[in-house]
Amino acid sequence: MGKGRVERGRRPLLQRVIRASTTRSTAALWGKSALNALLFFAIFAVALPAAAHWALPLQLPIPGSLGVGLAVLLFLAGLAGWIWGLDAFSRRGRGTPLALDAPRHLVTEGPFAWCRNPIMVSELAVIWAVAFTLRSLGAAVYAAALTVLAHWLVSRVEEPELRARFEAAYEAYCERVPRWIPRVGPARRD
């Protein structure tokens, strides 16, 4: 094989990710979502909570076993919801959670029939799980601030953009499905 030529199927990871950005296959969308998740979790669920714990190294006044039990429940629910949400985005919406690669279709099925922001709820659950695992006041303050910021971003940035893109379909969806707290059963489709 000549110099500079890459054997078919043996391209470097970054080159495959960049090439995948031009395709809409479910596998490519999942790959981009997984890369996004690794970066998200490394920064928002590990580095920033650790920095907050270091900056404010006070313990939350909860017993260790309660904190760990709550953390395990939040982490498992968050991970399951996150995977379910990404699957719905890639299969039904033909996109990812990334703003530059947003779903092309309004996704109202799967976890999106229970709440309008299941991926963000799931990510916040994982971040709260870290705070409870550390029993850290600093990490809990960080998680609370991020929760408030998420609400602001969704209500002031994301929802107006979705209203503009999907118009009446998004309005009807908002009337059926709550923003944050998952409903007891999935919303019925009109």
Gap between the Cα atoms of 102 and 68, Å rounded: 35
Residue 173: the pLDDT is: 96
Q: Tell me whether residue 182 is in a domain.
A: no
Neighbouring C-beta atoms of residue 156, cutoff 10 Å: 9
Residue owning tokens 């650790």: 50
Give the residue among 174, 181, 142, 141 at the shortest CA–CA distance from 159.
174
Q: Tell me whether residue 186 is in a domain.
A: no
- How do the pLDDT tens digits run along the chain, 190 residues long? 455 554 555 655 555 555 555 556 777 777 777 787 788 889 999 999 999 999 999 999 888 789 899 999 999 999 999 999 988 888 887 777 776 677 888 999 999 999 999 999 999 999 999 999 999 999 999 999 999 999 999 999 999 999 999 999 999 999 999 999 987 777 666 5
Q: How many domains does the chain have?
A: 1
Residue owning tokens 């110099």: 3
Q: Tell me whether residue 143 is in a domain.
A: yes
User: What sign for the dihedral angle of Cα 147, 152, 157, 159?
Assistant: positive
Q: Tell me whether residue 127 is in a domain.
A: yes
Residue 158: the pLDDT is: 92
Residue 21: the pLDDT is: 52
